[in-house]
Amino acid sequence: MNHSKPDSTELAPGALVDCPTCHLPAEIIERFRLNGVPGPVEHVKVVCVQRHWYTIPVDMLPVSATVSEDASIAGITPRR
């Protein structure tokens, strides 16, 4: 399992990441920014196969190896 932080290009809706609770695959269903200090904070909404739902800042999101596979299919070169 790869626990490096994701590149923002790898976090499009439909990308897979690890669920923060059960570590099973979770799909990103939405990506947005919320106001924060000192500026906006990028967030994603994810749902896993066990039906856990999260709205989480991108920098706190664990990444699965599947993100790299999905990014390669989409023509995106993932950061290693």
Question: What is the band of 13 on the pLDDT scale with cuts at 50, 70, 90?
Answer: confident
The SS3 of residue 68 is helix
pLDDT in the model for residue 9: 55
Name the residue ranges covered by the structural domains of the chain.
8-73
E-strand ranges in the chain read 16-18, 25-34, 41-48, 53-57
Q: Residue 68, exposed/middle/buried by CB under 10 A (0-12, 13-18, 19+)?
A: buried
pLDDT at 29 over 70: yes
Q: Which CATH class is domain 8-73?
A: mainly beta
Task: Report if pTM > 0.75.
Answer: no
47-61 mean pLDDT: 92
